[in-house]
Amino acid sequence: GDIDWNRVRADGIRFAYIKVSEGGDHVDENFYDNWEAAARAGVPRGAYHFMYWCRTAAEQALWYQLAVPQDKTQLPPVL
């Protein structure tokens, strides 16, 4: 859904993890909008992957890596 990232920041939230992917072939439809909006609002953010047993761990790690923009300020990945 829609997240008011400025409100998140104003409410004192110190960081956020945003769902990027699941399995080996799905990128969350809201990820890129939320990723950019959180950054604009000054909310430190990281991305998380929801693992399914439909693909190998290596395939899913690659899927995550391809989906997440390169950003030196992002938090460590979460599975």
Q: Is residue 57 one of the residues assigned to a domain?
A: yes
Q: Is residue 21 one of the residues assigned to a domain?
A: yes
Q: Is residue 26 one of the residues assigned to a domain?
A: yes
In the chain, which residues have pLDDT < 70? 1
Q: Is residue 23 one of the residues assigned to a domain?
A: yes
The pLDDT, as a whole number, for residue 1 is 67
Per DSSP bridges, beta strands 16-22 and 45-50 are parallel
Residues 6+ apart with CB under 8 A from 63: 21, 23, 24, 25, 49, 55
| Residue linked to tokens 């990232």 | 5
Q: Is residue 4 one of the residues assigned to a domain?
A: no
Distance of CA 23 to the CA centre of its chain: 14
The pLDDT, as a whole number, for residue 54 is 87
Handedness of CA 48, 52, 53, 54 (dihedral sign): negative
Question: Into how many domains does the chain fold?
Answer: 1
Q: Range of 19's domain?
A: 14-67
Q: Is residue 79 one of the residues assigned to a domain?
A: no
The pLDDT, as a whole number, for residue 3 is 97
CB 46 within 8 A of CB 78: yes
